Amino acid sequence: MGVVTEVGAKVKKFNAGDKVGVGYMAGSCRSCDSCNDGDENYCPKMILTSGAKNFDDTMTHGGYSDHMVCAEDFIIRIPDNLPLDGAAPLLCAGVTVYSPMKYHGLDKPGMHIGVVGLGGLGHVAVKFAKAMGTKVTVISTSERKRDEAVTRLGADAFLVSRDPKQMKDAMGTMDGIIDTVSATHPLLPLLGLLKNKGKLVMVGAPAEPLELPVFPLIFGMNLFVSHL
């Protein structure tokens, strides 16, 4: 997040003094099928905002740097009434959970959405889901974050995944689940929470492989997807 200090001669969308932000992607090839479809984040030559190489072999220095250079098509204008520190999480954690909610139709008022994990991604997922008018249940391994989830973030319910009775009572009640956990964890109990045709969307990135039982997917006509 920052303020534009200078623009190139061909820049048309921004001027010096504009409040702007850059997500975790600062460039792409602009010519592959993904780019042509508006899915630059799946471009095989995608350039990350920090620690990556530009097409001219210079390094990108975004993220924590004081200054950075970026093509205007990968810059987002920030409204004047939105503080930069408040907007910053939306361009990484925010879009990571907002995009799958919109893409997979988990944004309809009255839906019941589960959010697994209440970390950097999870807490933003709760806020977005509530703003969309859905019923939100936070799913965590212990009671430790119940107050944060319900009182501070406005979740409608809190479910302890290690409590067999709580999990049994919640079976078949959710239209979709956003799984934000990057630690190894069982997927079978989460699949049991879904209604028929429910969707389990993985946005966490565990280092170890997860076990995915197929039969619950088949018999519930459920969908399991990962989303970037």
Q: What is the pLDDT of residue 201?
A: 96
- How is residue 16 written in tokens? 């010096």
Domain 2-91 has CATH 3.90.180.10: yes
pLDDT in tens, the chain (228 residues): 999 999 999 999 999 999 999 999 999 999 999 999 999 989 999 999 989 998 889 999 887 789 988 999 999 999 999 999 999 999 999 999 999 999 999 999 999 999 999 999 999 999 999 999 999 999 999 999 999 999 999 999 999 999 999 999 999 999 999 999 999 999 999 999 999 999 999 999 898 888 888 887 887 778 787 776
Per-residue model confidence (pLDDT) at position 63: 76
Q: Where does CATH 3.90.180.10 sit in the chain?
A: 2-91
Packing angle between helix 122-131 and helix 93-103, nearest 10 degrees? Answer: 50
Amino acid at 195: K
Per-position DSSP letters for 104-135, written without gaps between them: TT---TT-EEEEE--STTHHHHHHHHHHTT-E
Q: Where in the chain is the domain with CATH 3.40.50.720?
A: 94-226
Superfamily of domain 94-226: NAD(P)-binding Rossmann-like Domain (3.40.50.720)
| pLDDT score for 199 | 95
Residue 228 pLDDT? 62
Task: From residue 41, give the alpha-carbon distance in Å to each of 8, 47, 221.
Answer: 24, 9, 28
pTM: 0.89
pLDDT at 211: 86
Q: Which residue type occupies 125? A: A
The Cβ of residue 213 has, within 10 Å, a number of other Cβ atoms equal to 13
